[in-house]
């Protein structure tokens, strides 16, 4: 099988993380191929708000600014949130974060998945250094001398010095490369919907821990709130079967009526919650990124942000190696990316898992400790600032080539 061109980098998957990586590398002067099975549905301002939204940390916004796509996202339907309030249903105590306390205008932004994907996709199509293969599906991959080849379902072949798998939590490419995962099924599903409340959302992200469940209210630009209600599998069928009035009443009680009654809801959807961590991020001339490398519990809203931090780190490592006239796809180079990002991602995933376990406990002694812990953290400003900076992605990047 003949290969007409050797690309610098081939990226499989053009979701938020894969598309951001492709743009960042192309803007840095790499020749990039992108393989994506299907183009995202175009975003339209007349459509209702997508049920899947993401809380973008400042580090993610910074990346989108550098990619020159943030203005288009922000001017559409992105909503800043300036405060975050966290409390426990079983114990007194509350943890609050306020952007003003840190001299920032916002803690982050809520934006629709489809909006971000649509903006990034349009940017991919305009970028001269990106060869976009869509629809295209990889059926096999092989590492050869100095390159890795990808065979597509139409019989064609693509070769690159480096292949990056950004094809999601159920990554077929990760499996083809022989990389295993450690999995944890939470036996929970996240119910998502957009709801209208009696009172304004106060430009605040809210999170309440309930016995065996968590509930987040995220502020939308149109004044509604997007909910993510993580509940045990056994409860999901019942909650989805309720009529709108009964669902709104039960949701309002679960939220402690912090914004008054829930007066309306969109149709609801749900998705399963699992933790999935790749055993390694590398194979010969191959790297994992985003959900292909790490899937985490959504309670902290950090899944996409972790993936976009992968983008920053992988780009930094590849650019530094290339500028030093080294083989940027060599194992020694990629190992630097893996060492930095895998440790952070695994620590984050297990931290979210631990929070979910501790705050899901109904034992009153545990609940009392939780409440006291929230109150204590809320009073210790340096600790609060450290937690806020970590969530924002404002941690110092260690030189990956050192």
The residue-averaged pLDDT of 205-209 equals 91
Rg of the chain on CA atoms, in Å: 22
The residue-averaged pLDDT of 206-217 equals 89
- Of 65-69, 213-217, 241-245, 331-335, where does mean pLDDT reach its minimum? 213-217
The residue-averaged pLDDT of 358-369 equals 49
Q: Tell me the C-alpha distance between 299 and 344, whole Å.
A: 17
Question: Which whole-number Å values give the CA distances from 345 to 68, 229, 250, 340, in the listed order?
Answer: 26, 23, 35, 9
| Per-residue pLDDT band at 378 (split at 50, 70, 90) | low
User: Does 399 score more than 50 pLDDT?
Assistant: no
Element (H, E) at 149: strand 147-152
The residue-averaged pLDDT of 3-31 equals 94
pLDDT at 387: 52
Instruction: Supply angle C-alpha 223, 271, 298, rounded to 5.
Output: 65
Question: Which whole-number Å values give the CA distances from 103 to 58, 94, 385, in the listed order?
Answer: 13, 22, 12
Q: Tell me the C-alpha distance between 198 and 248, whole Å.
A: 12
User: Does 299 score more than 80 pLDDT?
Assistant: no
| Per-residue pLDDT band at 352 (split at 50, 70, 90) | low
Measured between its terminal Cα atoms, the distance across the chain in Å is 40
- Of 2-11, 157-166, 230-239, where does mean pLDDT reach its minimum? 2-11
pLDDT tens column, 167-186:
999 999 999 999 999 998 88
Domains of the chain and CATH, by start = 6-79+111-183+275-361 (3.50.50.60)
The residue-averaged pLDDT of 302-320 equals 94
Q: Is the pTM here over 0.85, yes or no?
A: yes
pLDDT tens column, 113-149:
999 999 999 999 999 999 999 999 999 999 988 999 9
Q: Which of 183, 154, 152, 157 has the alpha carbon at shortest distance from 170? A: 183
Task: Report the mean per-residue pLDDT for the chain.
Answer: 87
């Amino acid at each position: 099988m003949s290969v007409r061109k050797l690309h610098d980098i081939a990226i499989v998957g053009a979701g938020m993380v894969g598309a951001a990586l492709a743009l960042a590398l192309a803007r840095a002067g790499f020749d990039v191929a992108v393989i994506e099975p299907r183009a995202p549905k175009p975003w339209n301002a007349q459509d209702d708000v997508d049920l899947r939204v993401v809380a973008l940390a400042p580090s993610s916004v910074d990346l989108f600014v550098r990619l020159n796509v943030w203005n288009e996202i922000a001017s559409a339907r992105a909503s800043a949130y300036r405060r975050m309030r966290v409390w426990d249903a079983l114990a007194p105590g509350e943890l609050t974060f306020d952007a003003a306390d840190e001299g920032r205008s916002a803690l982050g932004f809520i934006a629709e998945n489809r909006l971000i994907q649509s903006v990034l996709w349009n940017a991919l199509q305009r970028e001269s250094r990106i060869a976009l293969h869509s629809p295209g599906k990889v059926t096999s991959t092989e590492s050869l001398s100095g390159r890795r080849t990808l065979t597509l379902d139409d019989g064609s072949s693509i070769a690159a010095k480096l292949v990056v798998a950004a094809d999601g939590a159920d990554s077929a490419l990760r499996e083809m490369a022989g990389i295993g995962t450690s999995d944890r099924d939470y036996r929970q599903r996240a119910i998502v919907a957009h709801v209208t409340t009696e009172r304004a959302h106060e430009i605040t992200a809210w999170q309440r821990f309930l016995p065996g469940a968590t509930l987040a209210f995220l502020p939308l630009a149109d004044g509604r709130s997007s909910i993510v209600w993580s509940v045990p599998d056994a409860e999901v069928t019942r909650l989805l079967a309720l009529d709108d009035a009964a669902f709104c009443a039960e949701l309002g009680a679960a939220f402690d009526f912090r914004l008054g009654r829930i007066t309306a809801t969109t149709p609801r959807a749900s998705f399963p919650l699992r933790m999935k961590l790749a055993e390694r991020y590398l194979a010969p001339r191959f790297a994992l990124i985003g959900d292909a490398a790490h899937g985490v519990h959504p309670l902290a809203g950090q899944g996409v942000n972790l993936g976009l931090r992968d983008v920053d780190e992988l780009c930094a490592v590849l650019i530094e190696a290339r500028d030093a006239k080294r083989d940027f796809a060599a194992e020694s180079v990629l190992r630097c990316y893996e060492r930095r990002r895998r440790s952070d991602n695994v620590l984050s995933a297990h931290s979210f898992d631990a929070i979910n376990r501790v705050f899901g406990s109904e034992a009153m002694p545990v609940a009392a400790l939780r409440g006291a812990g929230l109150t204590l953290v809320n009073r210790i400003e340096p600790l609060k600032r450290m937690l806020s900076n970590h969530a924002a992605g404002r941690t110092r990047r260690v030189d990956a080539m050192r």
